[in-house]
Amino acid sequence: MKFVGEHILSVSQFARSDIDRLFAVAEKMIPYANRKKVTRVLEGAILGNMFFEASTRTRVSFGCAWNLLGGEVRETTEIKASSLSKGESFYDTARVLSGYSDIIVMRHGQEGSVGEFAGASRVPVINAGDGANEHPSQALLDLYTIRQEMLGRRKKVDGLRIALIGDLRFGRAVHSLCELLSLYENIQFTLISPKDLSLPEKYLTLIKERGHQIEESEDLHAGIAKSDIIYMTRTQEERFASQDEANKYRGLLRLNQSIYTEFCEPNTVIMHPLPRDSRGEAQELDEDLNENPNLAIFRQTDNGVVVRMALFALILDVAEQIEVSSRDVNWYTERRFN
């Protein structure tokens, strides 16, 4: 993968060497994301942040990553406001919108829509989620988080023991993460889910073919015992035939501090693609974990910013120019906690 000028549509585009390169650039972005330094490398460039489906966090994360490189953001936030609803094709929309910006980030509820759009776009396109299909930057930030957390514990991603928990059937974040992890060596996957929500055969096959180990289980306590990472997910309720159907799974698999203390090795990392459902009957990750320093869920979203900055910088070929226009931040930036 050369990155420069390329679309980012799927995690399957990435070889391990691409990931190493991306993460090396992401690390260089940390002082900018942490507001120690300012760079203006993309001053004058425009991001088309095209969200044809609701999303605050992903939309703002991409916009913020772009702003931190010095660029401007033009945005849309709903499909009803778009010509797509007057019968316009993705081809036309892409030809038009790609005349307005230097790069496009797009989310749309329809599987394959972003790829179709990218086929007609005159500028690089990043898939920020196309229905049940892919959301590659989420998987990349998850993998980057795993790498950073392991580094902090003097471990590597190779040899990782990870427990994937919850709705493994519908969660696209889990699917893409499995695919990326399979590029590494000797990963031990523990899959914990209700039978009807188990990981699709396609991913099981991929993982096995690439020489990793899989253990499937419905027992949370046994499953999390020997893990470096616990990756918990919420039930993708919007994918079920009915709310009643979805409710059957709500609250079945929960982690809280006392379970963590009793069953996990010390310093086991807890991750979640967020949002976590904090309503009483769900609570897949109990709020009593909030003070646990191994809870990495907010480091994940922070990492999303540097990973997205790195994607932008590589695609637009400015990764080597970041420091040219760099200077120290001149305003208050003392954060309350990390």
Q: Give the CA dihedral 280, 285, 289, 292, nearest 10 degrees.
A: -170
SS3 75: strand
Site for a copy of itself in 162-201 (CB under 8 A): none
Site string for a copy of itself, 216-235 (x = CB under 8 A): ------------------x-
SS3 74: strand
Nearer to a copy of itself, 79 or 183 (CB): 79
Site string for a copy of itself, 246-275 (x = CB under 8 A): ----------------------------xx
Residue 301 makes contact with a copy of itself by CB under 8 A = yes
Counted residue by residue, the chain has a size of 338
Residue 58's Cβ-count burial label (10 Å; 0-12, 13-18, 19+) is buried
d(CA 140, CA 259): 29
Residue 320 makes contact with a copy of itself by CB under 8 A = no
Nearer to a copy of itself, 19 or 296 (CB): 296
Q: Which of 12, 15, 36, 81 binds a copy of itself (CB under 8 A)?
A: 81
Is 323 in contact with 25 (CB distance < 8 Å)?
no
- Total residues contacting a copy of itself by CB under 8 A comes to 83
* 158-166, 178-186, 252-260, 301-309 -> range binding a copy of itself (CB under 8 A): 301-309
Q: Which residues sit opposite 267 in a β-bridge? A: none
Other C-beta atoms closer than 10 Å to the C-beta of 1 total 14
Is 25 in contact with 144 (CB distance < 8 Å)?
no
Q: Which of 21, 28, 40, 210 binds a copy of itself (CB under 8 A)?
A: 40
Site string for a copy of itself, 92-131 (x = CB under 8 A): x--xxxxxxxx------------------xxxx-------
Nearest to 101 by CA among 126, 129, 82: 126
Site for a copy of itself in 43-62 (CB under 8 A): 43-46, 48, 54-57, 59-61
